[in-house]
Structure 1
Amino acid sequence: MFFPVSKLLGFFALPSNLLVVLGLLGIVLLATRWRRAGLRLVVASVVLVALLGWSPLGNALLVPLEDRFPPIPDDGRPVAGIVVLGGAVTPDVAEARGIVVLNEAAERLTAAATLARRHPSARLVHSGGDPGFLLPDGNESAVALRLLAELGVPAAQLVAEDRSRNTVENAVYSKTLTDPKPGERWLLVTSAYHMPRAIGVFRRAGFPVEAYPVDVRTRGRVDLWRPFPTIGDGLRRTDTAMREWVGLLVYRLTGRSSALFPGPEGG
Structure 2
Amino acid sequence: MFFVLSKVIWFLLAPSNLLALLIAFGLLLAALTHLRHSGLVLAGIACAGLFVFGMTPLASLFLRTLEGRFPIAEPLTGAIDGIVILGGAQDPDASIGLGQPVLNESAERLVVGRALARRFPDARVLLSGGSGALTGSDTSEARAGALMLESLGLDPARILIEERSRNTHENAVFSRDMVQPQEGETWLLVTSAFHMPRSIGVFREAGFAVLPYPVDFRTIGHEGSLRGFSTISDGLRRFDLAMHEYVGLVAYRLTGRTDVLFPAPQAATVRDGTY
Q: State the TM-score bracket (shorter-chain normalisation).
A: over 0.9
Task: Note the alpha carbon deviations across 1:55-113, whole angstroms, 9 max, x for none.
Answer: 10101101111111111224331111110000001112334444321100000000110
Letter in 1 for 2:22: L
Instruction: Determine the C-alpha separation between the residues in 2 that align with 1:13 and 1:211.
Output: 29
Deviation, 1:120, is: 1.3
**CA contact 1:60–1:223 (8 Å) conserved in 2:** no
Deviation, 1:117, is: 1.0
Deviation, 1:137, is: 5.4
CA RMSD of aligned residues (A): 1.4
Aligned residue in 2 for 1:143? 144
After TM superposition, the structure 1 stretch with the greater mean CA deviation from structure 2, 126-135 or 198-207, is 126-135
Instruction: Determine the C-alpha separation between the residues in 1 that align with 2:157 and 2:75.
Output: 23
Letter in 2 for 1:208: A
2:101 matches 1:100: yes
Deviation, 1:152, is: 1.3
Instruction: Determine the C-alpha separation between the residues in 2 that align with 1:234 and 1:121.
Output: 42
Structure 1 residues 99, 93: CA separation in 2 closer, same or farther (over 3 Å shift)? same
Aligned residue in 2 for 1:23? 23
Deviation, 1:141, is: 1.4
**CA contact 1:27–1:42 (8 Å) conserved in 2:** yes
Percent identity between the two aligned chains: 48
Aligned residue in 1 for 2:4? 4
Query: How is 1:57-96 mapped onto 2 (pairs within 5 angstroms)?
Result: 57-96=58-97
Instruction: Determine the C-alpha separation between the residues in 2 that align with 1:222 and 1:257.
Output: 32
Aligned residue in 1 for 2:229? 228
**CA contact 2:188–2:210 (8 Å) conserved in 1:** yes
**CA contact 2:130–2:138 (8 Å) conserved in 1:** no
Instruction: Determine the C-alpha separation between the residues in 1 that align with 2:226 and 2:211.
Output: 31
Task: Note the alpha carbon deviations across 1:123-153, whole angstroms, 9 max, x for none.
Answer: 1000000111032252211211001011111
Deviation, 1:216, is: 0.5
Structure 1 residues 77, 20: CA separation in 2 closer, same or farther (over 3 Å shift)? same
Letter in 1 for 2:182: K
Instruction: Determine the C-alpha separation between the residues in 2 that align with 1:258 and 1:183.
Output: 23
Letter in 2 for 1:256: R
**CA contact 1:201–1:257 (8 Å) conserved in 2:** yes
Aligned residue in 1 for 2:272? none
**CA contact 2:100–2:148 (8 Å) conserved in 1:** no
Letter in 2 for 1:203: R
| TM-score, normalization by structure 2 | 0.93
Letter in 2 for 1:3: F
Aligned residue in 2 for 1:250? 251
Letter in 2 for 1:157: R
**CA contact 1:86–1:127 (8 Å) conserved in 2:** yes
Instruction: Determine the C-alpha separation between the residues in 2 that align with 1:118 and 1:14.
Output: 39
* Structure 1: gaps spanning 5 or more residues: none
Structure 1 residues 97, 23: CA separation in 2 closer, same or farther (over 3 Å shift)? farther
SS of 1:84 mapped into structure 2: strand
| TM-score, normalization by structure 1 | 0.95
Deviation, 1:45, is: 1.5
